Structure 1
Amino acid sequence: MVLNNITAFQFFGSVALGLLCFKIVNKFLPWIYVNIIGPKFLGPKLNIRSIGGWAVITGSTDGIGRSYAKALAKRGFSLVLISRSLSKLEDLAKEIENEYKVETKIIDVDFQDSVGIYDKIKAGLEGLDIGVLINNVGVSYSYPEYFLTYYQQNPKFLLDMVSVNIHSVTHMCALVLPVMLSRKKGLIINVSSSSASIPAALLSLYSGTKAFVTKFSEDLQTEYRDSGITVQCIKPGFVATKMSKIRASLSCPTPDTYVASALNMLGYTTTTPGYLPHNFLQISCDFMRYLTCEPFVSSLFLNYLLKIRKNALKRLNQKK
């Protein structure tokens, strides 16, 4: 009887262990393929050069947007460069035309002005064979700060951040999707942020707008994937741009390094950090949530951002 009980215990224990191992392998192997094996050794699953002749990039004169512009020009795309600084647009267009021998158009608009600018953009895109849209333009906080404090210092920032981070994405998609659908192919890359899926107190409005971009992208892909449209949402962590004001490192790549990595992710998944080290930030956060609880993890991130806030305020006071 004891032997039978032990045998039964061993049997059910083995089954439970087998199921656990299967579940781990079932989760782990696809992650390895999507984030490491596929992008690094096989390259992108989507041949973007066959999509169309023109690529549209918002926020194209600096950082990630500028790197996307050059990466796509290198692949032979003609470019529509959209940003608010006419002089920067002219300089970038000239540089790209000289280096990559592709055609460019520039549209100077300020996405903080949510009224009227989309008529100007629509006119500038008229008649173009648009295959790619990069929704990159975005604004963030100058430094981590309490929502009400930031609002009291700059009441207009609420409208500006929603206009730039949300309205730009939805309106630009609405402008280019009809062209893509008529040709039954197209690529839309929406730039979200890692702050959309990790605790980001003191960046509450920014992280909220980026969470919208993530959700919007995922559902938009579901709506139009059978129509030949690919929607990719990238969620970068820290990238060494003018906005972040951080030096480049392994965990904080240059925009060129980040964009090269993100482009290799095309076709593997709708939502991605776009860069392997940035994956580990999300994994670490999820693991801490699993081991502890959400309030504890949120407090850890809050303390980290409070330190950044303290240092930023100290620097601002020194300049006065």
Structure 2
Amino acid sequence: MGELLQQLLILLGGIICLVYLVKCIWFLKYFFPGLWSPVPPSFFRSMGEWAVITGAGDGIGKAYSFELARRGLNIVLISRTLEKLQKVASEIEQTTERKVKIIQADFTKRDILDHIEKHLQGLEIGILVNNVGILPTPYPNCFLSGPKNDEDLINCNILSLTKMTQIILKQMVLRKKGLILNLSSALGTFPCPLYTIYSASKVFVYTFSKALQAEYKEKGIIIQVLTPFGVSTPMTLHAKPNLFTKRAQDFVRESLDYVTFGDESYGCLAHEILGRFMQCIPLWILHSDRMQETIRNTLSGYLKEK
């Protein structure tokens, strides 16, 4: 009996070691994306003639607009501030010589989708980047102490993504090709105190995207959810870039190397490493009163300095 138990434990240990070895080998793809699953230069243009980017006036959305234009696509910019859209459109046209179309829309409102769909008619849309989103406040707060604009957040972070996907996915299915990138957040990969509503809205983006890819991957559509940590944008008060806080342009360029890596990605190597580390921390530690107080004091002090 003792010998049998010993053999079972050895077998179990071998299986665990094998599983972790496979995970380590699989993780190497993020270090060498060009060798593991290279994305041909023509890949993005082969999806279709146009790319649609929401929240394109600033930050990550603006960076995706420029990068996809450089890779050969015409661009549809959608955001609420006309002056920013016009400036970005002018810069893209001058630097890339691609066509740019502007649609002014406030995604906190529910009555804009017909307006958007009308202006997209007749365009061969190969790529959709659902980037638009709002963070009510960068300062960490308990639920009852936070801003009371929950409806705006739900409309912008959840409803807009769902409806934009409905509008554009239909034509992708008919053409049997297309790429949809949905911007979630690392805060949407676990229940995150002090950013409760924002985290919950990004959980929707995360699960919606993964379920949608399961439904449509056999129809030639790539749907990937991105869950970045820190990116220097107006939403993060232009946090100073460092090893883990990426410039928007750098994050976008790196994330496009990972579009064939499956239905989810942290978007860049630094965030992949940080994400694996965070997965090792038990939720009871992250949810403890001491940890919440530490996060509140640290982030509030940092943001006030800015």
Q: Is the 1:131–1:187 contact (alpha carbons within 8 Å) kept by the matching residues of 2?
A: yes
What TM-score does the superposition give when structure 2 sets the normalisation length? 0.91
Q: Which amino acid aligns with 1:282?
A: G
- Map residues 56-75 of structure 1 onto 2, 5 A cutoff: 56-75=52-71
1:65 Cα deviation from its structure 2 partner: 0.4
The question of whether the paired residues in 1 share the 8 Å contact of 2:158 and 2:204 is answered with: yes
Cα deviations by residue, 1:17-52 (Å, 9 ceiling, x for unpaired)? 32222121122222223x223357653379222110
Q: Which of 196, 206, 218 is matched with 1:204 structurally? A: 196
Identity of aligned residues (%): 34
- The CA deviation string for residues 78-129 of structure 1, in whole angstroms up to 9 with x for no partner, is 0100000111111111110111001110000111111x21111011101000
Amino acid at match of 1:171: K
Partners of 1:313 and 1:66 in 2: how far apart?
Answer: 24
Q: Could you say which residue in structure 2 is the equivalent of 1:241?
A: 233
Residue equivalent to 1:113? 109
Letter in 1 for 2:182: N
**Larger relative contact order (Cα-Cα within 8 Å, sequence gap ≥ 6):** 1
1:185 equivalent in alignment to 2:177: yes
In the alignment, is the contact (CA less than 8 A) between 1:198 and 1:285 conserved in 2?
A: no
**Secondary structure, aligned partner of 2:119:** helix
Aligned residue in 2 for 1:305: 295
**Alignment RMSD:** 2.3
Among residues 246, 252, 257, which one is paired with 1:259 in the alignment? 252
Matched, 1:225 2:217: yes
Which of 261, 282, 285 aligns to 2:278? It is 285
Q: Name the counterpart of 2:77.
A: 81
Deviation of the 1:76 alpha carbon = 1.0
How far does the alpha carbon of each residue in 1:279-305 deviate from its partner, in whole angstroms, 9 at most, with x for none? 23322222122xxxx222322652343
Q: Runs of 5+ in structure 2 lacking a partner?
A: none
- CA gap of 1:303–1:224, structure 2 versus 1, over 3 A, is same
Give the drift of 1:314.
Answer: 6.2
Q: Which moved further from structure 2: 185-194 or 266-275?
A: 266-275
CA shift at 1:11, angstroms? 4.9
Alignment partner for residue 128 of structure 1, among 92, 115, 123?
Answer: 123
Seen in structure 2, the aligned counterparts of structure 1 residues 314 and 136 have a Cα distance that, compared at 3 Å, is: closer
> Is the Cα contact below 8 Å between 1:198 and 1:282 reproduced in 2?
no
Residue 161 in structure 1 maps to residue 153 in structure 2: yes
Bigger Rg, which one: 1
Could you tell me the TM-score, scaled by structure 1's length?
0.88
The residue type equivalent to 1:128 in the other structure is: L
Displacement of 1:162 in angstroms is 0.3
Query: Is the 1:199–1:301 contact (alpha carbons within 8 Å) kept by the matching residues of 2?
Result: no
Of 93, 97, 120, the residue aligned with 2:93 is 97
Alpha-carbon offset, residue 174 of structure 1:
0.6
Deviation of the 1:182 alpha carbon: 1.2
SS, match of residue 144 in structure 1: coil
- In the alignment, the residues of structure 2 paired with residue 160 and residue 128 of structure 1 have an alpha-carbon distance, to the nearest angstrom, of 29
Residue 308 of structure 1 and its aligned partner are, at CA, apart by 4.1
Query: Is 1:29–2:25 an aligned residue pair?
Result: yes
**1:296 is matched with which residue?**
285
Report the 3-state secondary structure (helix = DSSP H, G, I; strand = E; otherwise coil) of the residue aligned with 2:301: helix
Q: Is the 8 A contact 1:55 1:79 kept in 2?
A: yes
CA distance in 1, matches of 2:109, 2:154: 11
Question: In the alignment, residue 118 of structure 2 is paired with which amino acid?
Answer: A
Secondary structure at the residue paired with 1:231?
strand
Aligned 8 A contact 1:58 1:81 in 2: yes
Counting only pairs closer than 5 Å after superposition, residues 138-149 of structure 1 correspond to structure 2 as 138-142=133-137, 143-149=139-145
